[in-house]
Structure formats: C-alpha cells, structure tokens
Structure 1
Amino acid sequence: MRFIDLAFVGRPEDFDKRATAALSDGPDRIEDHSIVWRDCKEHLKAASHQKCFYCESKDIRSDGAVDHFRPKSIYPWSAFNFWNFRFACTFCNSLRKDKETKVTGGKGNQFPLFDDAPRATCAAEECHERPKLIDPCNAGDPLEIDFTSDGQAVPAYTDEGDERCERGKVSILAYHLNHTAFVEERRRHAIILEEKVQAASSAHESYAAGNPDAKTRLDEAISDLHRAIQPQATYSVFARRVLNWHRENPLIEAVLRTA
C-alpha cells in the first residue's frame, strides 16, 4: 500500500456544486446521484497511476470502482465527500471467497471500529472515531502493512497488545491483500527482482574489476530495479521491501537512495 495524497488529486468540473446538490436530496436518494462519485474515478486512477489504492495492482480486466472509505450506507453525509473516495479493484472492494484458500475477504460495507470508540453520527464526529481499517490516504497508515519474502502481507507491528497489529490484521483481511492472485503476483515480482539484484551485483563487480563491457549490463540492471520501485510500478512498495532486504549491499543501498 502506497500513500495517496488526495490534496493533489484533481476533481471534475463543478464537483462541489453537484456534490452539495446531491447531498441535499437526502440519504434515501444517494444512489440516484452515483454519477457524482463515478465521475471522479479517472481522477483517482490517475493519482495512483491506474493502481488500486489498497493493493497496488492494475487489473486490466476490470474497470475498478470508486470505493467510499467510510461506507455510504453507514455514513450517508460522506457519500459525496471527495476526501472519502478511494479507487479500488474488485478483489479489494467486493466480498468474495478465495477459491484456493477458502478465505472470504473484500471490504464491502465494512468499517470496524475499536470497541472504546463511538461511531460518528455526523461528519463533525468522524475525527473521534478509531477505525480498524488502514487508510491509504492517511500518511501514517500504510506504514502498518509489511510483507514477507514469499509475498504475504503481514502487520508491520507484531506485538498483539499494539492496536497497530490489530489494524494490520483486520485490514489485510478486509482488503483481501492475501488473496492467492495477489500473493502469487508478489512472489513472481520477488523472484524477478532477486534475479535483477544478482545481475546488477555481478555486473558491478565485473565493471569494478576493469571490464568496460560490463557497464551496459550494469546500467540495464539498475534501470530495471529503479523502474520496479517507482510510484507508477505495480506492487512498487513490495518491490522496495524486497530491495531493502539487500540493503547491506552497497549497490542496492545506492539504488534505494537515488530512486
């Protein structure tokens, strides 16, 4: 998961005017004005380089959807609030069972809170809630998700007494981050990156030993590593994590420092 700053995301023309008019029509007619949030989809997609805000995948087989971080069925006053919109793929946004693991995941209309936090009854009370879901548009939240070398998403904080551990667990399931399709894609990325790390290291040693022909191979391998961790790359945060496991290698440290 990568932080997406909505402050830099464009909005459709007359969005505020249309959103205000739709909200004033009442909670029973929210779906009648779905065009208001649907018109924001391309702007949100552009902000994440066409990737799902939650899993960083690019699903070319699906158009994706605008997800309401706080579900509109529970928070009708935020149904047209641009700051509540997230671009999401089908796997993260909709409840479905993983055919391989039999685990059901997907956000749906979930918005769990910690027990000692009251649920908001109006927009002004939302700031007092303590959500269990990690928000990609809240700068500190993506830090609470980590990955293993085999592509599994795990809580970054492992102390069971730390609420960040609970948030990690709940969010990984709610966003279906360990759906078999995601895990396999991350695992494949890891294998490719490991090969690129080895290729870069080998070319670097050869070039340092005085072989000028190795410079081209070195540049190509470093370019591949750089591309993998750019914001527009699929699973770029996971890719950076893979490279971090090789940070003791001065070459990889330099790649991470200059990317």
Structure 2
Amino acid sequence: MIFIDIQEVISTLGGDWKAEARLLTDKLKEAENESQRKAIIAENEDIWRQLKAKLSDFAHKKCWYCETFTYRADNSVDHFRPKSRVYEDKDHPGYWWLAFSPMNYRFACTYCNSRRHDAAGTSGGKHDHFPLVDGSPRATGPDAPLSVENPLLLDPCWMPDVGAFWFDDTGEVSVNPSFKNVDEHAEEKVRESRHFYHLDQVSLVEARRRVHRKVLSLCDQADASFFSWKKTKDHSAKVAFGEAMNSIARMRDRTAEHSAVAQCAIRGYRHSSISASLSCDS
C-alpha cells in the first residue's frame, strides 16, 4: 500500500463535476426516506465512474489497496465507507451522504472490492464491510463527524496507515513492528485488512514473493559488483554496480507494482547488504 493524497486528487476535479456532486448530495439530504435516497444513488452511479481513470492515474494504474496492475481486475471505484449498507451493523443505513463525495472514493481491483473465493481456498473482498474497533462509535448521518470512528480497515489515503503492512520473503502480510508503536490495535487492523482486501490470495502472495526475491537478488548482484570494483578498479564492475542499483531504485519507485514490498525487502536487508543500505539512505 502506498499513500494517495486524496486532497490532491480532489483539487484536479472540474468545477462542473464538483457542482453536480454537491447538488446530488443535497438531494440525498432532502430525501424523505431511505427508498428515495437509494433511487437517487442508483440513478446517478455514473458520477463516480467518471473518475475511474483519474483515480487510476494517481496510483499509476495500480489498485490503491494491493498495488496490482491488472491480474486482479477489472478495477472499479470503491466507496471506502459503504454507501448503501454496513454488513457489521444491520441497522445502519450506509454512509449514503458520502455516495457522491470524492473523499470517500478509492480505486480498487475486483478482489479487494468484491467478495471472491480463490481456487486455493482463500476468500475476501471488502464489499459492504466496514468494521470498527470494538467500542468505537459509528457515524450514522451527515451531521456526525467521521472522526469519531476508529476503522479496522487500513486506508491508503491516511498516511499513518500506509506503513502498517510488512512483507517478507514468503510474500505474506504481517504487521510492521513500527506500526505497533503507532496504533494499539495494529495487529487487529492488519488482520482484518488482510482478510477484507483479500491480500492472502495465492497468486497475489506469489507475486509479492517474486518481487521480494528479485530485490534481494539485485542487492546481491550490486554488492558483488561493488566489491569487485573496489578490489580491481575494473570500470565494468562499477558500471554493473550502478546498473543493479538503478534496477533496485526502479523496483522501489511508487510507479512499480508492489513497490511497498520492494521497500520492505530493502529495509529488511540493509544490515546485510551495502547496496540495500545505500538504497535506504537515498
């Protein structure tokens, strides 16, 4: 997961789009009952679909939750807080007042956004789920501040959440030890997010494992070339060192698929590899 500045996304939206979104939100607030609200939402779904390409571009065409490009597609605009109902609270009407709010939009692949069962036996997908920390109040209408909530689902648009995941050479998701010092519910948030974003899907785990393995291999190549260069002063070894370092930089760049995995691999290897240490410092 990489940080997406949703405020920056909103700043690029056209005035006509924003005006239409405000108008529809006002209509929702003026609706007399739930049926009218649902009809307004159903009749105007195109308004968030218009933003699909823009949301995709802000994450370099990667899912905001799992950082994949295509194989968990097709992608869609997810309402981070479900617009029509909340699975964990049967009496909740859904966050209908956020249906046309771009602050609530996330770009998500099918496996993160919809309930799916993997052939290997895993299941997940966010769908209408929005669990909160036990005891947390839940906003029930437009006058209730969302700040009262403590969501269990990690949010790519909330910087403190972005570093919560840790990826090792197995490709599995665990808790970043540093996140435990930030949030007392770290373990639970990572566990629930891993499940509801379906981050344990077998093909996704394997893809992360390959990235982790490739980064370490590049670090080993860079180290070997570096020490050869220092020992022999052979210019070709210096060039090989630079090329390997460039490859590492490309894998950890936010435009790369699973760049957060590459970052973890480098950080975890920095005490054993001079190239990983240099990459961490750059």
* Matched-pair contact (CA < 8 Å) for 2:73–2:111: no
Deviations 1:130-172 (A, max 9, x none): 111111101101222212221001123597x931211110011
Give the distance between the partners of 2:236 and 2:156, measured in 1 at CA.
44
User: CA 1:60–1:154 in structure 2 vs 1: closer, same or farther (change >3 Å)?
Assistant: closer
Paired residues for 1:133-172 under 5 Å: 133-157=153-177, 162-172=184-194
Report the equivalent of 1:104: 123
* Matched-pair contact (CA < 8 Å) for 1:12–1:40: no
Report the equivalent of 1:252: 276
Q: Which runs of 5+ in 2 are unaligned?
A: 29-36, 85-93
Paired residues for 1:1-259 under 5 Å: 1-9=1-9, 10-26=12-28, 27-28=37-38, 29-59=40-70, 62-73=73-84, 74-100=94-120, 102-123=121-142, 124-157=144-177, 162-209=184-231, 210-248=233-271, 249-258=273-282
How many residues end up aligned between the 2 structures? 256
Residue 61 of structure 1 and its aligned partner are, at CA, apart by 7.3
Q: Which runs of 5+ in 1 are unaligned?
A: none
* Matched-pair contact (CA < 8 Å) for 2:116–2:124: yes
> TM-score if structure 1 supplies the norm length?
0.93
* Matched-pair contact (CA < 8 Å) for 2:169–2:213: no
Deviations 1:26-53 (A, max 9, x none): 3222021111111111111111111100
RMSD: 1.8
Give the distance between the partners of 2:135 and 2:255, measured in 1 at CA.
39
Residue 60 of structure 1 and its aligned partner are, at CA, apart by 5.9
* Matched-pair contact (CA < 8 Å) for 1:96–1:104: yes
Give the distance between the partners of 1:117 and 1:60, measured in 2 at CA.
36
- In structure 1, the residue corresponding to 2:107 is in which secondary structure? strand
- In structure 2, the residue corresponding to 1:197 is in which secondary structure? helix
For 2:4, the aligned partner's letter is: I
Residue 12 of structure 1 and its aligned partner are, at CA, apart by 4.2
- In structure 2, the residue corresponding to 1:226 is in which secondary structure? helix
Residue 57 of structure 1 and its aligned partner are, at CA, apart by 0.7
For 1:16, the aligned partner's letter is: K
* Matched-pair contact (CA < 8 Å) for 1:200–1:217: yes
Identity of aligned residues (%): 33
Give the distance between the partners of 1:119 and 1:61, measured in 2 at CA.
31
Deviations 1:153-212 (A, max 9, x none): 1123597x9312111100110101111111010111122222211111111111111111
- In structure 1, the residue corresponding to 2:152 is in which secondary structure? coil
* Matched-pair contact (CA < 8 Å) for 2:250–2:256: yes
User: CA 1:116–1:193 in structure 2 vs 1: closer, same or farther (change >3 Å)?
Assistant: same
